[in-house]
């Protein structure tokens, strides 16, 4: 199959996250990333010592080498594998760019369920149907 694919664990209870992943899947022309829903990632999280609390805060990327990154840093890592995101990922290596991207990422991540509600979610997977 794809032995050199990275793995991206995402919140599958968040409509905003699900839609973002669908977009990434369309952009991932070379199948460089294996997209793993949080609901099916327990064994992988345990293997790489990723806590549930860490997953609630940020998406996590596991490189083929086993190196784990999260949030904007994960985007910087997997973005280099997706042609249309390559330039954005490279820009995140500029001074202060990752810090700014991390700040923006955290603001979005902290409000992703509210954003999901605004998206008029109709699936049972979204935050409208989620018990908090």
Domain segments of the chain as ranges = 6-122
How far apart (Å, rounded) are the C-alpha atoms in residues 127 and 79? 27
Q: What is the per-residue pLDDT for 123?
A: 52
Tens digit of pLDDT for each residue in 28-55?
A: 999 999 999 999 999 999 999 999 999 9
Residue 119 predicted with pLDDT over 50: yes
Q: Packing angle between helix 97-110 and helix 71-79, nearest 10 degrees?
A: 120
pLDDT digits (tens, 9 = 90+) for 68-95: 999 999 999 999 999 999 999 999 999 8
Give me the percent of the chain exceeding a pLDDT of 70.
88
Between 1 and 31, the more confident residue is 31
CA dihedral (70, 49, 65, 41) positive or negative: negative
Confidence of residue 109 (pLDDT cuts 50, 70, 90): very high
Backbone angles phi, psi at 52, to 5 degrees: -60, -35
């Amino acid at each position: 199959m794809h032995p050199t694919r990275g793995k991206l664990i995402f919140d599958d209870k968040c409509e905003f996250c699900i839609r973002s992943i669908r977009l990434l899947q369309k952009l991932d022309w070379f199948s460089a990333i294996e997209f793993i829903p949080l609901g099916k990632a327990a064994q992988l999280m345990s293997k790489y010592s990723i806590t549930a609390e860490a997953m609630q805060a940020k998406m996590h990327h596991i490189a083929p080498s086993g190196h784990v990154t999260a949030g904007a840093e994960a985007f910087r890592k997997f973005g280099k594998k997706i042609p249309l995101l390559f330039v954005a990922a490279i820009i995140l290596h500029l001074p202060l760019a990752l810090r700014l991207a991390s700040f923006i990422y955290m603001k979005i991540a902290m409000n992703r369920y509210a954003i999901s509600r605004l998206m008029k979610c109709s699936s049972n997977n979204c935050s409208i149907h989620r018990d908090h």
